[in-house]
Amino acid sequence: MSQEVRGIIARSKGTPVSTETIVIPEPGPDDVVVAIQACGVCHTDLHYREGGINDEFPFLLGHEAAGIVETIGDGVTHVAVGDFVILNWRAVCGECRACRRGEAQYCFDTHNASQKMTLTDGTELSPALGIGAFCEKTLVHQGQCTKVDPAAPASVAGLLGCGVMAGIGAAINTGGVRHGHSVAVFGCGGVGDAAIAGSKLAGASTIIAVDIDDRKLEWAQEFGATHVCNSATTDPVEFIRSVTDGNGADVCIEAIGHPEVYKQCFEARDLAGTVVLVGVPNPEMTVELPFIEIFGRGGALKSSWYGDCLPERDFPMLIDLYLQGRLDLGRFVSETIGLSDVEQAFHNMEQGEVLRSVVVL
C-alpha cells in the first residue's frame, strides 16, 4: 500500500524549499521503505535547489541519512525489517566494466529505487542523489541500505552517507595516506575536516590545515591538524614547505573546488606525491598548470568521488571506530534541527557557521 508522509521539496531554481505531502509507493521487488531518523544538510542539496546539478525539478532533497528499514519488497534479501541502516548513493551493480574488473568503487551503473515518489497530484519527484531523505520515509533500492551497529546515534551515523565519508575516503582510499605521511588539507569545512580526521586515523605524522577562516582552523585542530595556515595572510605553499623540511606534503587534498587552490595543492606537493581533488568545481572553471612540472614532479593527480568508498566495507568499519572512541563523528554535528528548518540551515551553511546541521525526525 502507498503511504503519505511529509518531506522537503525544491520546486524551482533558487526559490525557498517547502514542506509537502509526499506519496511513497508500495516497494518494488528490490525496493525498501526506510523510516528516516536523521539527515544531514549537505552542500549538494543546496546545489540541487540552485539548479546546479540538473533541471529535473521538483527535487526531494536530503541524502545524508540513517534510519530503520520499515517495509521490504518481495526480492529483498540484503536487509530485513527493523535493521538500522545508513543510506548510500553507491549501490554497486556488480556487472558494469568497473565492477567486473574489481573496482566497484567506480561503479558506472549504481542502483536506485525502481519506482518514483510523487506529490499528491501525481507529479514525479527527483530524489537528491537517488535518496531524498528530508522526509519522514523514503523509498530506495536495497543496495542503498548499509546495515550498521544500532548503538550509534542516527544523527551521527547518517553523516557517513555523504560528506564525512567523502573526506575520510579522500585521504585514506584515494590519497592512500599511511603512517608517517605528511598531508595538507585545503579547506576546513565538513569534508576537509573529515579528510583531516581520516589522515589522523591512517597515522599521518604531519597534518597541515589551510583555510582563510581562523575559526575553521581551530576546528581543524580538534580533528587532528598538527599545523594550521591562514592562507589569507600566509602563503600556504611556503608554509607547507617550511614544516616539511622544504619538501612539500606527500598528499595534498583540495576540498574547495577552486582553480587557484588546486594550483596551490599542486605546488605544495612533494616529488612523487599525490594531489586529491574532492572539492566540486563549477562547470565554467579551468585550470592552467606548467606541463613540464606535471611530468617532472611525478606522482599522481587524482579525483575522489564519494571518497572512493564502498559503503558495505567502509560504513560498518567507521561506525565501529566511532563506537570505540577512535573517530569523533559527533564533533561534525553543529546543530540538530527540524524538517522545517532546512532553509535556515542552507543560510547557516553559506555563512560558514556550521560543519553540519542535522535534521532529526
Residues of this chain that bind Zn ion (CB under 5 A): 42, 44, 93, 96, 99, 107, 109, 162
Shortest CB 166 distance to Zn ion, Å: 7
Contact indicator for 125, 58 with CB cutoff of 8 Å: yes
Cβ proximity to Zn ion: between 107 and 277 the closer is 107
Q: Is 352 exposed, middle or buried (0-12, 13-18, 19+ CB in 10 A)?
A: middle
The residue type at 203: G
Cβ proximity to Zn ion: between 104 and 237 the closer is 104
Q: Where are the beta strands (DSSP E) in 212-324?
A: 227-230, 249-254, 269-277, 300-303
Shortest CB 111 distance to Zn ion, Å: 9
Cβ proximity to Zn ion: between 154 and 162 the closer is 162
Parallel, antiparallel or unpaired: strands 31-40 and 356-360? antiparallel
Cβ proximity to Zn ion: between 98 and 201 the closer is 98
- Is residue 5 classed as helix, strand or coil in its secondary structure? strand
Cβ proximity to Zn ion: between 24 and 99 the closer is 99
Cβ proximity to Zn ion: between 63 and 297 the closer is 63
Cβ proximity to Zn ion: between 65 and 117 the closer is 65
Distances in Å between the alpha carbon of 37 and those of 102, 149, 287? 34, 15, 41
Shortest CB 137 distance to Zn ion, Å: 20
Contact indicator for 76, 305 with CB cutoff of 8 Å: no
Helix (H) or strand (E) holding 223: helix 214-223
Parallel, antiparallel or unpaired: strands 31-40 and 18-24? unpaired
Shortest CB 99 distance to Zn ion, Å: 3
| Residues shown for the chain | 361
Shortest CB 71 distance to Zn ion, Å: 25
Contact indicator for 237, 264 with CB cutoff of 8 Å: yes
Residue closest to 320 by CA, chosen among 149, 168, 158: 149
Contact indicator for 17, 128 with CB cutoff of 8 Å: no
Shortest CB 270 distance to Zn ion, Å: 31
Shortest CB 77 distance to Zn ion, Å: 19
The residue type at 239: F
Which contacts (CB < 8 Å, 24+ apart) does range 288-296 have?
A: 288/259, 289/263, 293/266
Cβ proximity to Zn ion: between 107 and 339 the closer is 107
In angstroms and rounded to an integer, the radius of gyration of the C-alpha atoms of the chain is 20
Exposure string over 151-167, b if 16+ CB within 10 A, otherwise e:
ebbbbbbbbbbbbbbbb
Shortest CB 43 distance to Zn ion, Å: 7
Shortest CB 244 distance to Zn ion, Å: 31
Cβ proximity to Zn ion: between 34 and 191 the closer is 191
